[in-house]
Structure 1
Amino acid sequence: MSSTSRRAPLASPTAQARVDRASSADRAFLAMDRGLVPQQFGVVLGLEGHLDLSAVTELVAERVRAVPRLRQRLVRVPFGLGGPLWLDDAGFDVRRHVREVSCPPPGDEPALMDVALSAVTTRLPPDAPLWSIVLVGDVAGGRSALVVVLHHVLADGIGGLGVLAALVDPGRESFPAEFPRPRPTVTTLLEDSVATKLQALVGLPASWRLLRSSMTAGGGLRPPPAAACSLVQRIGPRRQVLVVRWDVDSLRAAAHAHSATVNDALLVAVAGALEQVLRHRGEHADRLSIAVPVSGRPADADRSVGNLVSPLLVAVPTTGPQRRRLAEVAAAVKALKPLALAPAPIAVLGWLFRPLAALGGYAWYLNHQRRFHTLVSHVRGPAAPLSFGGSRIDSAVPLGVADGGNTTVYVDALSYDGTLTLAAVVDPDHFPDADVLTRALEDELRAVCSPS
């Protein structure tokens, strides 16, 4: 019998029980998950050649041991014993998480993206660790793909890269450990709960200072309203993804020539492209408000679990010389980014945010907000090519599909092996001119790389 068909042996009673609680940010993402589209994200890894499901399952079964969170469930505890715990799933079976589907004809990228969107928008079962891997066969050119899906309660984008690093070749070294570990006793939980509350009280002044910083980075309590336009309107559950690729070295060189970053250049390109879409619709906006997730994860922090991002709100000009727009955005981000390194407001105010979200308050806000026009997320991935099961990974497309409220388009960008891949996710019922956006993104990236 293969190792993938066996459940892990039970831990001995003498194994050390550890209290591993969900962070306030993790719980906030769980509280947000009330809409038709789950709070999940993923990445589509294009593979050269075909992989066998049993081989993929064997590899995943071995490599998840290096990321304990992938074999854990979030479990609530009785009142008075503190917040939810991450506990080892005694019934963990990797076969519940890895499956195979065929890419429908013609097996091209749009067909593959439809399969990936279906995987990412399918709600993960709550009675198992919140992740899945879909092996997609019959991709054009004799290729295959892996769609890796994570719930946001597990990790943010940087954390997702950490998970990915453990799954690809050659895997990450894992040390033998008994599984599942025993649950903490009631006494242990009570002691930990009291200690956590005391620590929170001691750190309250610092928390309020950090809250002011992150609120300022995110636009404050009452930012100037985003200009009224058709980019902001109530959307439905359908999604379509548009993929644009660009040479990351040329974009970086153009950005650095004007003391800017790749992220700054990306914001200018996206804003310019959306202005082209608005002009196509007979509209115009001098500036577009773009929300940017900023990682507050220290360089030496665990890169495979948890959520450590705060929002940064940037007003990006859509007209004028490229170099002026790039310089303005670079200056704004440089001034605000240090403030966004503080914990997100939804984490600091978790005690207030979670019940409001559970009652539908966050969903109402998303449907009526006038703070931003779109969201742009950029994660820097591996510069060298990776492989899985001996097959070279020749592309990596990021996908974030959480409930967008009234945001008709948002963009995820991931650099990998010299290529910056932009995945613009739209609601096709409220963003019907997707082809215009695709061409506009290419035009604007070209313009940024040759600023006038």
Structure 2
Amino acid sequence: MSERLRPRDLALLAEESATTPMHNATVEIFDPGESGFDHDRLVRLISDRISFVPRYRQRLQAVPGRVANPVWVDDTHFDIGYHVRRSALPRPGTLGQLQELVARIVSRPLDRSRPLWEVYFVEGLADGQVALLYKAHQVLVDGIDTVDLGQVLLDMTPEPKELGGDAWTPGRRPSPAALLAGAVRDTLGDGTTALDTVRSTTGSVLRGVDSTAQRAGRIVNGLAGRRPVRESPFAGQLSQQRRVVAVCTDLQDYRRIRDVHGGTVNDVILATVTGALRAWLMTRGSLSGLRQIRAVVPVSVIDQELEATSLGSQIAAHLVELPIGEASPVVRLHQVSYSFKVHKETGRGVAANRLAGIAGFAPTTFHAIGSRVAAAERGRGFQLTVTNVPGPQSPLYAAGARMVSTYPVPPLLPGHALAIGVTSYDGRVSYGLTADRDLVPDAEVLGQCLREALDELLDTVTGARPRVPRGRRKAAKKVKP
């Protein structure tokens, strides 16, 4: 029988609505050069490698009467032309125009009657560049049984590898009787199936009650002539539209700051985010009274008690208070660094260079898992998700075309007006901001604040000598002149 959807995945589906589509997205920009990389080459590339991610040709099938969780079944009408789409910007397309296009596309939920993914080939960028936009539902990419499609499309060399595809034929569509029989077999053969069904059903009922209560509250507020109260600049009733902002910076700048002030590149990135949020809130006149912003930062760990992933480690949620009330950029950096000190000292943490060096590692899968981890932690009262993924520091290629840059487009959780994704790749650190179009109309200002926050940290290291780690300092003292 086909694999059954797990309760955690069913919870993600249940939380999805027109205002909170639960899919991840990534933008990758390529320089085709002489590779001839175009829409047709992309279709052939995906056809050649989709067998490595078989779930990308499956869809969800409900069980009659909901006596068990839905199952993954082969899509008997799978049409790659539906999933791999072509779009274009007016030449010469700018990054701003690309961001607008991406925002419109990621605002639309995926069609649940088909495999839960789409890829857009975007032409018309300046200098002859093209872009790929990957869009995949969170239940599709779990990093365990299924990785992101983008992970299997990229090569480490410009010579494309022709793998020949596969002679795939879909399995027969299961009948209602077969679905019921499978549910009975699973229940009798594994008691956890019945327990999962009870949990899923109970969870759906509770979510329905919660949703009804929220709607009732909005109606009461409307009758009273009052809008729902927003708890912070990062929360509110979401619209159905998004804003997307991409910011590209140099990795070497973060290393310079780290070498002088200590900590890690991850600490410097989070300190940059903290400084940017502070400056952005000041432009809004919203900083008064705010000292910290609680953020969840998914981190890679070695922990056998957590669910194993294909990334060579597990992913855990780390809560950090971003000190936006602190005026000094150096103090902000040290406070962020201290918040990760315990995590580092436990021995559970995985170094960025080790994670990026995993064979076949691509940031897209880590971002997808990070979004799932953040969604599971909603009850812990955080206001912002920041997913930072260290990517490879050498170029990657798709069908011979070099990937110039990559930007994550993280999803918004219900009630969250902003999410931030960060990817380091080939000497660059790229930020992807996803914001609600109505709640954060000034998302571009936040993007500019990121650049200014990094410059503010760089000003503190001009002319400063790099800090020598304690271990190297002791070794240097032993060397005789």
Q: Same fold (TM over 0.5)?
A: yes
Question: Paired residues, what number?
Answer: 388
How far 1:396 sits from its partner (Å)? 0.8
C-alpha distance in structure 2 between counterparts of 1:159 and 1:143, whole Å: 33
Q: Give ranges in structure 2 of 5+ residues lacking alignment.
A: 196-229, 351-368, 462-481
Q: In the alignment, which of 380, 385, 395 is matched to residue 405 of structure 2?
A: 395
TM value normalised by structure 1: 0.73
Match of 2:106 in 1: 120
- Check whether the contact 1:66–1:174 (CA below 8 A) recurs between aligned residues: no
Q: In the alignment, which of 62, 65, 81 is matched to residue 95 of structure 1?
A: 81
Q: In the alignment, which of 176, 181, 186 is matched to residue 192 of structure 1?
A: 186
Matched, 1:316 2:306: no
1:133-282 paired onto structure 2 within 5 Å: 133-155=119-141, 162-169=148-155, 170=160, 179-181=169-171, 189-198=183-192, 229-252=232-255, 254-255=257-258, 260-282=263-285
C-alpha distance in structure 2 between counterparts of 1:36 and 1:124, whole Å: 13
Give the counterpart letter for 1:393 in structure 2: M
How far 1:91 sits from its partner (Å)? 1.9
Cα distance change on mapping 1:411 and 1:146 into 2, 3 Å: same
Q: Provide the alpha-carbon RMSD of the alignment.
A: 4.0
Say which is worse superposed, 259-268 or 107-116, in terms of deviation: 259-268
- Check whether the contact 2:299–2:315 (CA below 8 A) recurs between aligned residues: yes
Give the counterpart letter for 1:88 in structure 2: D
Match of 2:439 in 1: 430
- Check whether the contact 1:382–1:415 (CA below 8 A) recurs between aligned residues: yes
C-alpha distance in structure 1 between counterparts of 2:259 and 2:27, whole Å: 29
C-alpha distance in structure 2 between counterparts of 1:229 and 1:160, whole Å: 36
- Check whether the contact 1:66–1:173 (CA below 8 A) recurs between aligned residues: no
- Check whether the contact 1:375–1:411 (CA below 8 A) recurs between aligned residues: yes
Cα distance change on mapping 1:79 and 1:431 into 2, 3 Å: closer
C-alpha distance in structure 2 between counterparts of 1:412 and 1:431, whole Å: 16
Q: In the alignment, which of 381, 385, 389 is matched to residue 375 of structure 1?
A: 385
What do residues 55-107 of structure 1 show as CA deviations (whole Å, max 9, x unaligned)?
A: 22122112111111111112222458632222222221211111111113551
Larger Rg: 2
Match of 1:67 in 2: 53
Match of 1:357 in 2: none
Cα distance change on mapping 1:431 and 1:121 into 2, 3 Å: closer
Q: Give ranges in structure 1 of 5+ residues lacking alignment.
A: 1-17, 202-226, 354-361
Match of 2:40 in 1: 54
C-alpha distance in structure 1 between counterparts of 2:190 and 2:341, whole Å: 34
What do residues 298-332 of structure 1 show as CA deviations (whole Å, max 9, x unaligned)?
A: 7995549xxx8654332111214444333332332
TM value normalised by structure 2: 0.69
Match of 2:339 in 1: 332
Q: In the alignment, which of 32, 35, 39 is matched to residue 18 of structure 2?
A: 35
Structure 2 SS opposite 1:246: strand
Say which is worse superposed, 188-197 or 290-299, in terms of deviation: 290-299
Q: Percent identity?
A: 29
- Check whether the contact 2:387–2:422 (CA below 8 A) recurs between aligned residues: yes
Match of 1:293 in 2: 298
Match of 2:96 in 1: 110
Structure 2 SS opposite 1:378: strand
Cα distance change on mapping 1:120 and 1:88 into 2, 3 Å: same
- Check whether the contact 2:48–2:166 (CA below 8 A) recurs between aligned residues: no
Cα distance change on mapping 1:199 and 1:132 into 2, 3 Å: closer
How far 1:37 sits from its partner (Å)? 4.0
Say which is worse superposed, 384-393 or 374-383, in terms of deviation: 374-383
Structure 2 SS opposite 1:141: helix
Give the counterpart letter for 1:56 in structure 2: L
C-alpha distance in structure 1 between counterparts of 2:184 and 2:260, whole Å: 56
Cα distance change on mapping 1:28 and 1:380 into 2, 3 Å: farther
Match of 2:224 in 1: none
Matched, 1:23 2:32: no
Cα distance change on mapping 1:134 and 1:71 into 2, 3 Å: same
Cα distance change on mapping 1:73 and 1:276 into 2, 3 Å: same
- Check whether the contact 1:41–1:401 (CA below 8 A) recurs between aligned residues: yes
Say which is worse superposed, 107-116 or 161-170, in terms of deviation: 161-170
C-alpha distance in structure 2 between counterparts of 1:158 and 1:423, whole Å: 25
C-alpha distance in structure 2 between counterparts of 1:326 and 1:271, whole Å: 9
Say which is worse superposed, 45-54 or 142-151, in terms of deviation: 45-54
C-alpha distance in structure 2 between counterparts of 1:316 and 1:140, whole Å: 37
C-alpha distance in structure 2 between counterparts of 1:234 and 1:23, whole Å: 29
Match of 1:8 in 2: none
Matched, 1:385 2:395: yes
- Check whether the contact 1:19–1:192 (CA below 8 A) recurs between aligned residues: no
What do residues 9-48 of structure 1 show as CA deviations (whole Å, max 9, x unaligned)?
A: xxxxxxxxx5422233322221111232411221111121
C-alpha distance in structure 1 between counterparts of 2:102 and 2:372, whole Å: 30
Match of 2:420 in 1: 411
Give the counterpart letter for 2:291 in structure 1: D
